[in-house]
Every structure is written in structure tokens, then in C-alpha cells.
């Protein structure tokens, strides 16, 4: 489902022209498509039909309440990594019984709140975390359901910053350590062992690393069973990649089919934590060209969005497609570096792009629905962008553009 198409040379989001949305809500703005979010989530549901499963959307990819609400209505569970994400899910109407809590640094307060909400499962990332959780649960006279995040030491073949399943990464426990953590968990009265979990990295474009990880997890499941520790679910994390440029990731259906084939008829509920593969291509970042600055070295198109709005190009050298909103622009055709107003040389959204642009034109960055707004900041005291949800021929503002008052909230000058 491609939500952003041209009609009469004008880029549209579902039934609406991007130019009209930008006119109404200003730029820079994130524009999401409800239909695209739903279609991607349903791909997972269809691929998993007939199997006991839970699809826990990874909130970090795009945590806007409207996005969470749309997915919650379809029955989604949620993968969270902080108290803030937990409260977002609850505020959006998500079901706490479908929350899994990942993350290497859970605090006692976050644990206590998650226990009060009776979330599905804590994905434990270390032996000390198990001890702390057991204490927090015991003090509340409660039992915490856990799975252990295993670091299977497989190469996800993705950017090193978003690879998480190698021995050198900070996430999870090694296969060897996992046995000890499970044995200890099984003897703690305030802990109930329910599952096993891994997440080997993000933007994976091949199935084989997932299957390698799954094999290592299944071997552990068998070893645990032989010791009388029976697991009920297997959580393979997120990580399925998307096409930003010319990547050819497997489809959701291919990926899930391969996992189901490897699992065979084991009585394990399958849990997934997809983020990017649901949200990335359901969103655009729309920006306006303020100046054209051709120099001897480079042609710069200075736009009103910057690295604080979308940091992926600066942080991971990520390539995002940049499209003209108006294909009939009468601007200057050249190879442009599309850069923002932030005072950093690394502040670029894309380099060497063939575009026809004039000051005042709009450009749209594709693949911006995941790890776009959620990674944005106020660097250079820039208010964060507005977020818009398009639903057919309706555009809803789902996060207001920040104002100066938002920038200084909580700050104070010293007393006289
Ligand atoms: C534990 C965990 N689960 C799920 C995800 C979501 O990953 P992705 O957006 O690649 O699907 C992440 C982020 O990579 C993660 O760290
Ligand atoms: N933030 C990363 C994805 C990593 C997710 C964290 N586990 C990105 O934009 O590609």
C-alpha cells in the first residue's frame, strides 16, 4: 500500500494534497497515513493467522498517541523501553496485558508501575535486573512474568549503531549466561518464567540472521525444558528492514513464513516487536525550501527542517528519498545538497539530489514515519515540528508545533 502518490504532478497523502496540508499546518511537519499504518500491521496479522501470536509494536519507532491509538484498535500489543512509553500506551488506550517491557536500564519505579498495570512480560536484560525485579515484586506481594533477552551473537549485517545481537553489544545475556539466569529465575517466588526473547538489530534486509538467532533460542528452549523450565512464548524482537533506496528486504509474509517453518509444531506463542517495518513508510517529513545557495563546490538547498527534526542522515549516514511535492516546479534543476539551518556541518537531509527547486517549494522526505519525530530534539532552540495524521480526505493535527513557551518550560533564572 503506497499512501503517498502523485496526482496532477502534486504529491498527495491518501486523498489530500501535501501542499494543502503544509499550507494549513505549516512546515516542517510530519505527515502520517492511517491507511498505511493499518495495512502494514495487518500484513503481520495475516502472516500470523492460525498461530498463537502477539504483535507488540515497538513504540520507540513512532510514539505519537494517534499512531498508538490506531494500532491499539487493531489489537496491537506494545514493546516499550521506558516509563514514558508505558504511559503513552496507556494514555492511547493500549491494553497493558499486551505490553512487553524491554530495555537494559529499567528503574525500580518503572518496574513497580509495570507490575501495577499487570503488563504481559518483562524482557530481562541482565542477572542484576532479575534480582532487582524480584525484590520490587516481592515488596508488592506480586509475581513478575519474565522472559530473558538472549544475545545470540549473530551478525545482523546492518549499520553497527543499530546492530544489537552481537556479543560486544550491551543488550541481553549470552547463551551461556542465560541458563544460569533462568535457573535463578525459576527459584525466585516473585518471578514467573514465561518466555524467551531476542532482538538482534534493526533494518535487517535478509532472513538468515533471524533464523540463525531463532535456532539458538530454540536450542535453549529445549535445554530449559530438559531441566523442567517450560516456556510459553518466544519473542523474536523487531528488526525487519524496509526499502529506503534500493534495499530488497523480505516481505513480512516471507519473513514470518520462514520463522513459522523453523518453529514447526512447537507449542510456543510467537511474539514480534516490529517498529520500522510498520511505521517508516507510513510517514513523510515535509519541509520548505528557504534559500538556494549554489557555490563552486556544492549547490545547497536550505530548507526549514534540520537534523534536530530528522537525525538519521547525520547519525547513521542514512539515505532517505527526497521528493518534490510539485513535479511541475519551475525552479532550478541541479544536483542539490538539501541542508537545514542548524549550525553543524553534519546538518543535512540528503546530498547530491537531482531536483528542480525554487525558494518556497516544498520537499518531502520519504521513510520518515519511524525514528523521525521520536529522535527529534530542540537543538539550536528549534521548536519541534507538527505531526499530522491523514485519514482518507481528513487531516488531523496529532501534535501541535512547539512554541517558544514549550522550549523554556521548567527553566528558571537564578533568584535576584
Ligand atoms: C528491543 C527492541 N525491540 C524492537 C525494536 C524495533 O526494531 P525495528 O524498528 O527495527 O523493528 C527495537 C529497536 O531496534 C528494540 O531495541
Ligand atoms: N534509531 C534507529 C533504529 C534503532 C532502534 C533501536 N533499537 C534508526 O533510526 O534506524
User: Which of 233, 258, 277 is at the close of a domain?
Assistant: 277
Cβ(10)–Cβ(17) below 8 Å: yes
Domain of residue 265, CATH code: 3.20.20.10
Condensed to tens digits (0 to 9), the pLDDT of residues 81-112 reads 999 999 999 999 999 999 999 999 999 999 99
Domain of residue 400, CATH code: 2.40.37.10
Task: Give me the residue label for grid cell 556479543.
Answer: 167
What whole-number percentage of the chain has pLDDT above 70?
98
Determine whether the shortest distance from the Cβ of 40 to ligand 1 is under 6 A.
no
Structural domain includes residue 189: yes
CA of 64 to the centre of ligand 1 (A): 16
Structural domain includes residue 61: yes
CA of 348 to the centre of ligand 2 (A): 18
Residue nearest to atom 6 of ligand 2 (CA): 162
Residue nearest to atom 5 of ligand 1 (CA): 238
Q: What are phi and psi of 124, to 5 degrees?
A: -75, 140
If you average pLDDT over every residue of the chain, what do you get?
A: 96
Q: How far apart are CA 117 and CA 75, in angstroms?
A: 18
Q: Residue positions in the annotated binding site for pyridoxal 5'-phosphate?
A: 239, 273-276, 371
Structural domain includes residue 82: yes
pLDDT band at 153 (very low <50, low <70, confident <90, very high): confident
User: Which of 242, 277, 312 is at the close of a domain?
Assistant: 277
Condensed to tens digits (0 to 9), the pLDDT of residues 323-341 reads 999 999 999 999 999 999 9
Structural domain includes residue 8: yes
> Concatenated DSSP letters for 347-393?
-EEEEEEEEEE-TT-EEEESS-SSSSGGG---GGGPPPPEEEEEETT
pLDDT band at 1 (very low <50, low <70, confident <90, very high): confident
Both 77 and 203 in one domain: the answer is yes
Both 63 and 149 in one domain: the answer is yes
Both 112 and 256 in one domain: the answer is yes
Residue nearest to atom 9 of ligand 2 (CA): 371
pLDDT band at 400 (very low <50, low <70, confident <90, very high): very high
> Domain range for residue 333?
4-32+280-408
Determine whether the shortest distance from the Cβ of 162 to ligand 2 is under 6 A.
yes
Condensed to tens digits (0 to 9), the pLDDT of residues 222-263 reads 999 999 999 999 999 999 999 999 999 999 999 999 999 999
What whole-number percentage of the chain has pLDDT above 90?
94
Atom of ligand 1 nearest to the CA of 103: 1
Determine whether the shortest distance from the Cβ of 200 to ligand 2 is under 6 A.
no
Cβ(120)–Cβ(98) below 8 Å: yes
Residue 187 CB coordination number (10 Å):
8
How many domains is the chain built from?
A: 2
Both 233 and 334 in one domain: the answer is no
Atom of ligand 1 nearest to the CA of 149: 1
Return the C-alpha cell found at 340.
537545514
Both 57 and 182 in one domain: the answer is yes
Q: What are phi and psi of 117, to 5 degrees?
A: -80, -10
The pLDDT of residue 161 is 66
The verdict on whether 343 is a catalytic residue reads: yes
Both 325 and 360 in one domain: the answer is yes
Distances (CA, A) of 72 to 31, 48, 69, 199: 20, 17, 5, 22
CA of 257 to the centre of ligand 2 (A): 24
Structural domain includes residue 339: yes
Q: How far apart are CA 118 and CA 126, in angstroms?
A: 21
Condensed to tens digits (0 to 9), the pLDDT of residues 272-283 reads 999 999 999 999
Both 26 and 77 in one domain: the answer is no
Active-site choice (12, 29, 198, 343): 343
Both 110 and 44 in one domain: the answer is yes
The pLDDT of residue 138 is 98
- Judged against a pLDDT cut of 70, whether residue 165 lies above it is answered with no
Structural domain includes residue 416: no
User: Which of 244, 277, 310 is at the close of a domain?
Assistant: 277
Structural domain includes residue 184: yes
Q: Which ligand is nearest to the CA of 274?
A: 1
CA of 192 to the centre of ligand 1 (A): 24
Determine whether the shortest distance from the Cβ of 58 to ligand 1 is under 6 A.
yes
Give the mean pLDDT of 29-53. 98
- Judged against a pLDDT cut of 90, whether residue 169 lies above it is answered with no
Residue nearest to atom 16 of ligand 1 (CA): 199
Both 58 and 177 in one domain: the answer is yes
Both 78 and 97 in one domain: the answer is yes
Both 221 and 261 in one domain: the answer is yes
pLDDT band at 296 (very low <50, low <70, confident <90, very high): confident
- Judged against a pLDDT cut of 70, whether residue 398 lies above it is answered with yes
Both 213 and 270 in one domain: the answer is yes
At what angle are helices 108-117 and 127-139 packed, to 10 degrees?
60
Structural domain includes residue 415: no
- Judged against a pLDDT cut of 80, whether residue 268 lies above it is answered with yes
Return the C-alpha cell found at 250.
523480505
- Judged against a pLDDT cut of 70, whether residue 162 lies above it is answered with no
Determine whether the shortest distance from the Cβ of 250 to ligand 1 is under 6 A.
no
Determine whether the shortest distance from the Cβ of 146 to ligand 2 is under 6 A.
no
Name which of 83, 369, 66 is nearest 242 in CA terms: 369
The pLDDT of residue 163 is 67
Q: What are phi and psi of 205, to 5 degrees?
A: -115, 5
The pLDDT of residue 158 is 73
The pLDDT of residue 154 is 87
Amino acid at each position: 500500500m503506497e499512501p503517498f502518490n502523485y496526482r496532477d504532478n502534486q504529491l498527495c497523502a491518501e486523498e489530500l494534497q501535501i501542499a494543502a496540508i503544509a499550507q494549513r499546518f505549516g512546515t516542517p511537519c510530519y505527515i502520517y497515513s492511517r491507511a498505511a499504518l493499518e495495512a502494514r500491521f495487518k500484513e503481520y496479522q495475516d502472516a500470523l493467522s492460525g498461530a498463537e501470536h502477539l504483535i507488540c509494536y515497538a513504540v520507540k519507532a513512532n510514539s505519537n498517541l494517534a499512531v498508538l491509538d490506531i494500532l491499539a484498535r487493531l489489537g496491537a500489543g506494545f514493546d516499550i523501553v521506558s516509563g514514558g512509553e508505558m504511559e503513552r500506551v496507556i494514555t492511547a488506550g493500549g491494553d497493558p496485558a499486551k505490553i512487553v517491557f524491554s530495555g537494559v536500564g529499567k528503574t525500580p519505579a518503572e518496574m513497580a508501575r509495570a507490575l501495577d498495570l499487570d503488563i504481559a512480560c518483562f524482557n530481562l536484560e541482565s542477572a542484576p535486573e532479575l534480582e532487582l525485579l524480584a525484590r520490587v515484586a516481592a515488596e508488592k506481594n506480586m509475581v513478575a512474568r519474565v522472559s530473558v533477552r538472549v544475545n545470540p551473537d549473530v551478525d545482523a549485517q546492518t549499520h553497527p549503531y543499530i546492530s544489537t545481537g552481537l556479543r560486544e553489544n550491551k543488550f541481553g545475556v549470552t547463551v551461556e549466561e542465560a541458563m544460569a539466569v533462568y535457573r535463578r529465575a525459576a527459584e525466585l517466588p516473585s518471578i514467573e518464567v514465561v518466555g524467551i526473547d531476542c532482538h538482534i538489530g534493526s533494518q535487517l534486509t535478509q532472513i538468515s540472521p533471524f533464523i540463525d538467532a531463532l535456532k539458538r533460542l530454540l536450542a535453549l528452549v529445549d535445554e530449559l525444558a530438559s531441566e523442567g523450565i517450560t516456556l510459553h512464548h518466544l519473542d523474536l524482537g523487531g528488526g525487519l528492514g524496509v526499502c529506503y533506496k534500493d534495499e530488497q528486504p523480505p516481505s513480512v509474509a516471507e519473513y514470518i513464513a520462514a520463522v513459522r517453518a523453523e518453529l514447526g509444531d512447537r507449542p510456543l506463542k510467537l511474539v514480534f516487536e516490529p517498529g520500522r517495518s510498520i511505521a517508516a513508510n507510513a510517514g513523510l517529513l515535509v519541509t520548505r525550501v528557504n534559500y538556494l545557495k549554489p557555490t563552486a563546490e556544492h549547490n545547497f538547498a536550505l530548507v526549514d527542517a534540520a537534523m534536530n527534526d530528522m537525525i538519521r542522515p547525520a547519525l547513521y549516514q542514512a539515505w532517505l528519498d527526497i521528493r518534490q511535492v510539485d513535479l511541475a516546479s519551475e525552479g532550478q534543476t541541479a544536483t542539490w545538497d538539501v541542508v537545514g539551518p542548524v549550525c553543524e556541518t553534519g546538518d543535512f537531509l540528503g546530498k547530491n539530489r537531482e531536483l528542480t527547486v525554487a525558494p518556497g517549494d516544498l520537499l518531502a522526505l520519504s521513510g520518515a514515519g519511524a525514528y523521525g519525530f521520536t529522535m527529534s530534539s530542540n537543538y539550536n532552540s528549534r521548536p519541534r515540528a507538527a505531526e499530522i495524521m491523514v485519514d482518507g480526505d481528513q487531516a488531523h493535527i496529532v501534535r501541535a508545533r512547539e512554541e517558544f513557551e514549550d522550549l523554556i518550560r521548567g527553566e528558571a533564572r537564578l533568584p535576584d
